[in-house]
Structure 1
Amino acid sequence: MFHTPDYYHNTSMRLSEVLDDIAVNENMVMKRRRAALLKETIDTITHRADGKQVTVYHLGSRSEGTTTQRLKSDIDILCSDNDNIVIQDWSEWTPGKHNHLMIQNETTPGYCLLQELRDDAPLPVPHEMGNYFVKDTSGRILCTNTIIDAAVFEGEQRQGPSAASAKPGFLASDAVIAFPCISWPKSSRAWLHQQEINIWPTAEMKRYATTTKCFVVGVGSKVSENAAFEWRISTSLAERCLMFNLNLTQIRCYILMKIILKTYINVENLDNESYISSFMCKTVLFYCIASKPTSVWKECNILNCLSFCIQTLKRCILEGNCPHFFDHENNLMAGKISTVVKRQLLERMSNLIPCNGILLFGIQIDNLGERLQIKLNMINEVHHDICQPNEYNMDITAGLSIFTVVDISRNHYELIHSTKDKSLEMKLKILLHILLHLTRYYRDGDKLEKTACRLLAPLYCTSIGSLIASQNIQINRTVSPQALTWLEAGQDSDVASSRLKQASIMYCTGDMERVAFILSHIEEQYNTEVTEPVCGCYNFHHTSFKRGFGQLCCQYDEAEVKYIAALCVRFFPAEVNCVPHELQYEMFRSTREDLLHRGGRDNDWMDCAVVDSLPYLYFLQYKAYGNLQRPEEQQQALNKLMWVFRKECNLGHRETALNLLGQCMEQENRPVDALQYYMLSLRHRERNNAAKIHICMCLANTIS
């Protein structure tokens, strides 16, 4: 393959050990993939339950397992709008769908035009139908890619084909709206049938690739005069198929390419723009794998493999051409690299060849350079912030687990929130329809779909029970057997939240003995050394994870994480009668001025009463024991509620819990302490905070 210096073998083996230490190993790659596949299944099932013909795919490095903890790869989401289909010829026209005829654009390979067709017959649309359609010189009505602007939410930006969002402390996400193709585009179809002497991709991989969908996404070529109504052809599912068939050395080479790219190539003085994308690196890797024997790609040879990939990337830059792996006519670098930038890139690439240990020593991402020097006995002192392998594994696994639980919570919230203007009867009808939908998926679905349904269903059972109970309490301050049956069915949602809703409902009926019994059981299940609070209301950033939680996440699979996670307890306005009056204030947290500062749809949860499970557990205990005339246990509950703020760093609704604690202090006739807690609450959330109401009421009561 190449002339191999003697030290390459040893450096390659030590480099492989370093990558294993930072969780680039088969176990963690598979964990990342399973988490991403489960999340896309949960998202798809939720959309379908809501009546939307959308299929969600989580693509890119996070779903492939080709990233590291510090590389901070984006979250790439492709939402296939299945009501809009793209056909290659008239025979594929489908009634009941919005059909678009693909017109391959020979001047810009990899892109196409979409001609609008009638919904009632396989015929062209004769005239424009709005701002998103134009007539070309041939009289065809074309769909412009600016139609995606209508789907970009507040707080997101249009970046190419996607609605991108990035907030401080969180990973960036790109959500791409795509139209599925009925069959593979002709330009890419040639790859499937071409006879090559290379053994990769294998015939089996190609056969599988033919079963995957292709898409078009709304973005034009940088070198096209007609970019506004061009659509890029995406073969992302076939690419994922190839990535899922890479061996560990090939995955590690790809990750190292991205790390080197971020460290040495895409840095500030190139106009802050990433001219060489990770997708180009992936394409280069595909060509390198296809051109070299499988026996080359092993851990003792990783440095040589990496050098070959870097050399191939440099050749692409030199020629100004990086051909798409499935459509060789599509140059991924077209229009992206000027002569000046090309010269700068080539200069930097020259410094990377030969790709040896010295180059890698300078990499700070995941402390890779320092770790490699330690492995090679070049330095003895270990830097204080270098995580041990088990810490890396726990941190990543815990993050993936939180990722799954948050998604369950958010999907449940979005569906319930969508019914906010419906009558109670209609709300219940919609929720029952959703549960019927989940039952069908569970009965007929694959393993991932069954897991997704088991995770989602209990939350909807609890919501149905709570809505019925709220109506019962309003009428006669009792809870019907029907409501209790639904609440019992939903108890398995997580460690505490659904049971706390049941306890809250019993509290509002005045059944304090039952409340105390339920809360006692919850407290037994809630291990404060292990259970992690999880908030799915907004982008809450976990500062760290409990060690016990991380250890159990490494042992559990994704479906079992609910036994060690506690969702926040969420009451929608229609459930107001299930909420103690102290918590009801949270539904009215926003003044007219505050509403102007909410920041869009991400803060719609503020219309609800939401509190973290653990402080709500102790608050309800305080209230129940007070009503039962058990002062000693009541004081213990109050002490535990105060303890939560000192020990629990991941409370998503800390300001709400502080407001509850303040009201407890008022009940204890300690108004000064109450005011201190309300002020502390305001420091956590300055606007849209019910603490303002409590401060006014506390001062008024004190004066009177």
Structure 2
Amino acid sequence: MYQGPNYTETVSMRLSEVLSDIGVDERIVLKRRRTMLLKESIENVIYKIHKNSVFTVNYFGSQSEGTTTIGIESDIDLLYCFNDIPVIQDWCKWIPGVHNYLMIQDNFVSPGYCLLQVLRPDAPLPADRESNQYYFRDRTGKILLKQSIVSVGYFDKLPLHGPARVEQGPNGYLDADNVLALHCKSWPQQARQWLDQQGDAHWPSAEMKQYCSRTGCFVVPVGCRGSEHEQLEWRISTSLAERCLMLNLNITQIRCYVLMKMILKSYIKPQFEDVISSYMCKTVLFKCIANSHLNIWRENNLLSCLLLCLYLLYNNIINENCPHFFIPEYNLMRGKISPVVKPYILELLNNIINSEGVALLGIKCDDLGSRLHLKCYNLCPYKTSEYISGFLLLETANTILNSLLFISSTVKNKRPNEAVQTLTNCISKILNDQCEGLVERACQLLFPIYCTTLGSLLASININQHNTVSADALKLISLGLNIDVASSKLKLVSILYCVHEMQKADLVLSEIEGSYDLQVVEPAYGCYNFERIHLKQGFSATCDNHTEDVIQYATASCVIFLPCEIHCVPTELRYEMVRSTPGDRIFLTKDDAWMDNAVMDSLPYLYFLQYKVNSYLGRHNKKQSALSNLLRTIITEQNLGHRETALNIIGKCMEKEGRVRDALQCYSMSLNLRERNNAARMHICTLLSVIGNFRA
């Protein structure tokens, strides 16, 4: 890049424009934050309904801060906090009736860490009990809590990386770092001095510090490497306070942090994987903001801000000391930098700093380098904001739909009337929960799902007993008809079909088809992590200009029938509820819980129901048109999550049409997509048996 007059300002503006093009602007940052924080709220409402708030989930890190891009591929950071294990720092906070755990932060414990002493439940006194899998008696007689107290079956099977259990995401999905933690309501003693400090920028503000002090802290089960008490120490986590600071950064500060992560990903991590972390970069950013005037953090000064942060990081590496922002005695670089790699990292950073921005041209992440090169010649590369908006909306839609899996597990193996009572209680909890903000929004989004499911369950009971549907069932179903474009309405059509109300079913089908814009509507899934090939341009454009309200106009969730709704399901689809043989079931994982249900994508189910209704009404041409549309959908709709089920249904239609070879071909294609836990095996065996008997 030619370094003429106003070079730094020119590069800063071009760099800001490039980052805006790839989704690092105020609007997309806010969209990312709202999506992840709403997802957090939805999941906590679901846990509260079904698990009685045993724990609370928190989304931390880049995804919830909005400080990531498609190319950075930041992990999803999840912290699960157990709500029934109180941690205190002062004896006056002792809670009667339960075991309290007192944080010990003395000179014998590593900075940034603590021990947890067990207290008696009947008096604010130290506990006196034998050592076991959860407790350890130290040489002074204190009973200390072991890290194994937060063991959870599934997470224990995942590989451990620091305090996190790393869950590998399938193709197209991000990894998740799952951290189990305990919460202390008070601000950590080791960080109390920070509350009184005041930097040159008067940042963080007094209001921000007050909020941070109210959030308290977490303790996570990992000790300081090499410490005498490593197996008993708990790391103090100030994640809630850090999130508060991140949510109060301006766009230039956010872009500076994103650029630091890109430099880390492009230049340092390929050679020195775990030496410098993005958390260190965040800490460096906080320190730079606190010690500089806020007026330097402007778009036209972005390059200078970045170099300021890199220079501080460089000095931290020289001194092998990166002080924790809240607990300065806690050195984030302790034991991280070996004498062998240190000079190479310093040389790398020195070259990047001295290049005065030229090194940014070598960043391939999000094509930043090539985009910046084009911008310097006043060319306009493509933007990705619409694409990001589309995926963020689907993330919300999938989270809402995922509630059906919790419903399924809750009512599984229960009698119909018991299941009705359980769902009624769930709805009461949603209605009676006094909440506000995103939690209130989460309840508003979940309420229709629970109502429709309860209505369908009541309808199934009605059909089984009286071959009719009660007004109460229909009223409940109606409360959820606008969850999305099609899924709940298709459930209503299924119910009408099962009680032979074909004219009404036909009217609803016509309404669904009229509102299902094939150029806009995208399927949504809460069943499993389905890898999408692409997003429709019309869908992405629609999402870019709306919040989660557009879910009801632009998405079509898969239609899910629980086993207790079986009498609302056409015969052809009921086979999906028994798709797994005993031999298949041993291959099921936690992500396969949906397989006990009958599940089908909305669009093929729409055409299948049209085929069935028109067949019943004797409309041959419309029946054949529906079958043609069903076949076309399998070929043209790339984002079908349950394609194998659609092929099974087409096979049953082919049997109905007397096209036995075509039916067998459909079942074979279905098995090629999903070899195990597939009803196609049953269909093939049945069909071959019929053919054999016919020939005999």
TM-score in terms of structure 1 length:
0.94
On the 8 A contact 1:146/1:228 being kept in 2, the answer is: no
Q: 1:201 to 1:447 in 2, by over 3 A?
A: closer
Question: Alpha-carbon deviation of 1:132?
Answer: 2.3
Aligned to 1:521: 511
| Aligned residue among 599, 602, 611 for 2:600 | 611
On the 8 A contact 2:131/2:137 being kept in 1, the answer is: no
Aligned equivalents of 1:416, 1:213: Cα separation in 2: 36
| Aligned residue among 617, 621, 624 for 2:613 | 624
Establish whether residue 474 from structure 1 lines up as the match of residue 464 from structure 2.
yes
Establish whether residue 75 from structure 1 lines up as the match of residue 64 from structure 2.
no
On the 8 A contact 2:200/2:293 being kept in 1, the answer is: no
Instruction: Give ranges in structure 1 of 5+ residues lacking alignment.
Output: none
Aligned to 1:11: 11
On the 8 A contact 2:631/2:650 being kept in 1, the answer is: yes
Further displaced range: 202-211 or 155-164: 155-164
Question: Alpha-carbon deviation of 1:191?
Answer: 0.8
Aligned to 1:695: 684
| Aligned residue among 390, 406, 409 for 2:401 | 409
Aligned equivalents of 2:416, 2:220: Cα separation in 1: 39
Establish whether residue 430 from structure 1 lines up as the match of residue 419 from structure 2.
no
Aligned to 1:265: 268
TM alignment of 1:655-666, pairs within 5 A? 655-666=644-655
Aligned equivalents of 1:76, 1:105: Cα separation in 2: 30
Residue 168 of structure 1 aligns to a residue whose secondary structure is coil
TM alignment of 1:274-353, pairs within 5 A? 274-353=274-353
| Aligned residue among 200, 204, 210 for 1:201 | 204
Question: Alpha-carbon deviation of 1:664?
Answer: 0.4
Aligned to 2:535: 545
Question: Alpha-carbon deviation of 1:82?
Answer: 1.7
Residue 84 of structure 1 aligns to a residue whose secondary structure is strand
Aligned to 1:142: 144
Aligned equivalents of 1:32, 1:665: Cα separation in 2: 45
On the 8 A contact 1:177/1:217 being kept in 2, the answer is: yes
Aligned to 2:582: 592
Letter in 2 for 1:528: L
Aligned equivalents of 1:223, 1:7: Cα separation in 2: 48
Further displaced range: 44-53 or 190-199: 190-199
Q: 1:559 to 1:95 in 2, by over 3 A?
A: farther
Further displaced range: 4-13 or 654-663: 4-13
Question: Alpha-carbon deviation of 1:6?
Answer: 4.6
Residue 353 of structure 2 aligns to a residue whose secondary structure is coil
Q: 1:154 to 1:694 in 2, by over 3 A?
A: farther
On the 8 A contact 1:178/1:217 being kept in 2, the answer is: yes
Aligned to 1:59: 60
Letter in 1 for 2:344: Q
On the 8 A contact 1:405/1:562 being kept in 2, the answer is: no
Letter in 2 for 1:7: Y
Aligned equivalents of 2:58, 2:463: Cα separation in 1: 43
Establish whether residue 483 from structure 1 lines up as the match of residue 473 from structure 2.
yes
| Aligned residue among 112, 116, 119 for 2:118 | 116
Letter in 1 for 2:534: S
Question: Alpha-carbon deviation of 1:337?
Answer: 2.2
- 1:128-177 Cα offsets, whole Å, 9 max, x none, are 46412222112222121133332534873333222321123211112222
Aligned to 1:164: 166
Aligned equivalents of 2:126, 2:288: Cα separation in 1: 44
- 1:45-79 Cα offsets, whole Å, 9 max, x none, are 11112212433221111111111121111111222
| Aligned residue among 132, 135, 144 for 2:134 | 132
| Aligned residue among 522, 537, 551 for 1:532 | 522
Aligned equivalents of 1:658, 1:258: Cα separation in 2: 45
Aligned to 2:640: 651
On the 8 A contact 1:152/1:163 being kept in 2, the answer is: no
Q: 1:229 to 1:424 in 2, by over 3 A?
A: farther
Aligned equivalents of 2:354, 2:636: Cα separation in 1: 51
Question: Alpha-carbon deviation of 1:355?
Answer: 4.6
Question: Alpha-carbon deviation of 1:417?
Answer: 1.5
Aligned equivalents of 2:74, 2:92: Cα separation in 1: 41
TM-score in terms of structure 2 length:
0.95
Aligned equivalents of 2:4, 2:442: Cα separation in 1: 49
Residue 602 of structure 1 aligns to a residue whose secondary structure is helix
Residue 340 of structure 1 aligns to a residue whose secondary structure is coil
Instruction: Give ranges in structure 2 of 5+ residues lacking alignment.
Output: none
Establish whether residue 175 from structure 1 lines up as the match of residue 164 from structure 2.
no
- 1:2-31 Cα offsets, whole Å, 9 max, x none, are x99852221111111111111111111111
Residue 701 of structure 1 aligns to a residue whose secondary structure is helix
Aligned equivalents of 1:90, 1:4: Cα separation in 2: 64
Q: 1:142 to 1:182 in 2, by over 3 A?
A: same
On the 8 A contact 1:568/1:610 being kept in 2, the answer is: yes
Q: 1:57 to 1:517 in 2, by over 3 A?
A: same
On the 8 A contact 1:111/1:230 being kept in 2, the answer is: yes
How many correspondences in the alignment?
688
Aligned to 2:40: 40
Further displaced range: 348-357 or 486-495: 348-357
Q: 1:672 to 1:96 in 2, by over 3 A?
A: farther
Aligned equivalents of 2:65, 2:409: Cα separation in 1: 32
On the 8 A contact 1:495/1:564 being kept in 2, the answer is: yes
Aligned to 1:222: 225
Aligned equivalents of 1:680, 1:309: Cα separation in 2: 56
On the 8 A contact 1:205/1:241 being kept in 2, the answer is: yes
Aligned equivalents of 1:205, 1:195: Cα separation in 2: 12
Aligned to 2:105: 104
Aligned equivalents of 1:155, 1:556: Cα separation in 2: 40
Question: Alpha-carbon deviation of 1:438?
Answer: 1.4
On the 8 A contact 1:105/1:111 being kept in 2, the answer is: no
On the 8 A contact 1:589/1:689 being kept in 2, the answer is: yes
Letter in 2 for 1:150: V
- 1:71-129 Cα offsets, whole Å, 9 max, x none, are 11111122222211210122101235542111115341001111122334323331146
Aligned equivalents of 1:96, 1:157: Cα separation in 2: 36
Aligned equivalents of 1:592, 1:648: Cα separation in 2: 33
On the 8 A contact 1:160/1:218 being kept in 2, the answer is: no
Further displaced range: 292-301 or 114-123: 114-123
Percent identity (aligned): 48
